[in-house]
């Protein structure tokens, strides 16, 4: 400090700057921003799939419904969801002719597309799934033939393949619209 008495203010400031720079931590390295696709994972029987996040408006965990006479077996009924009538469909029943057993893990994925508003019963919702875009598979994967018309693509992560199920393709399907027996 005694030495600072004879230094000019500029020299003192330069000395402080030099010591600050030598003791400063460097900025963190910027990493490349990876583009990722986000969807909602679900299970239908033993098959895991994912649906685009923007195609599901809501996930219902509990509901009560009224049966619809004269409807196909995969039409489970109509539910009153906050004052709106929502048809509830058994997705496995529609695709494979197999009834989904209601369990604690069963959920209803709600789709609202081009005036089609429906709830689709699935065995389980597996939460949000994040897939780096570079993990998108170039072609379609082999899967159940009943599901393939509604698939868009697939992603692979941790050696698991996740087909992307399009609720919008399902909602536009003429077969899905034919609910009467």
pLDDT digits (tens, 9 = 90+) for 109-160: 999 888 889 999 999 999 999 999 999 998 777 777 788 899 989 999 888 9
Q: Which helix (H) or strand (E) holds 92?
A: helix 91-96
Q: Is 48 helix (H, G, I), strand (E, B) or coil?
A: strand
Q: Give 90's strand partners.
A: 121
Quick one: tokens of 82?
């906050």
Chain segment 18-66, per-residue pLDDT in tens: 888 888 777 777 666 778 999 999 999 899 999 999 999 999 998 788 9
Domains of the chain are 36-177 (2.40.50.180)
65-118 pLDDT, tens digit each: 899 999 999 999 999 998 889 999 999 999 999 898 889 999 999 998 888 899
pTM exceeds 0.85, yes or no = no
Handedness of CA 35, 38, 44, 45 (dihedral sign): positive
CB-count burial class (<10 Å; 0-12, 13-18, 19+) for 154: buried
Report pLDDT for 129. 95
Q: How far is CA 52 from the centre of its chain?
A: 5
């Amino acid at each position: 400090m005694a030495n600072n008495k004879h230094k000019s203010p500029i020299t003192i400031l330069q000395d402080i700057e030099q010591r600050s720079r030598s003791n400063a931590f460097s900025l963190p390295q910027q990493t490349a921003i990876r583009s990722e696709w986000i969807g909602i994972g679900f299970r239908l029987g033993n098959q895991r799939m994912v649906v685009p996040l923007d195609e599901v408006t809501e996930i219902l965990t509990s509901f009560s419904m009224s049966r619809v006479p004269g409807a196909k077996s995969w039409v489970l009924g109509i539910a009153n969801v906050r004052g709106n009538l929502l048809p509830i469909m058994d997705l496995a029943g529609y695709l494979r002719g197999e009834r989904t057993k209601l369990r604690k893990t069963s959920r209803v994925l709600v789709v609202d597309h081009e005036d089609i508003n429906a709830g689709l019963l699935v065995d389980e919702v597996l939460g949000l799934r994040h897939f780096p875009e570079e993990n998108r598979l170039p072609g379609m994967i082999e899967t159940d033939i009943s599901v393939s018309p509604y698939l868009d693509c697939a992603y692979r992560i941790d050696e698991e393949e996740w087909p992307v199920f399009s609720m919008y393709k399902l909602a536009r399907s003429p077969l899905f619209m034919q609910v009467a027996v």
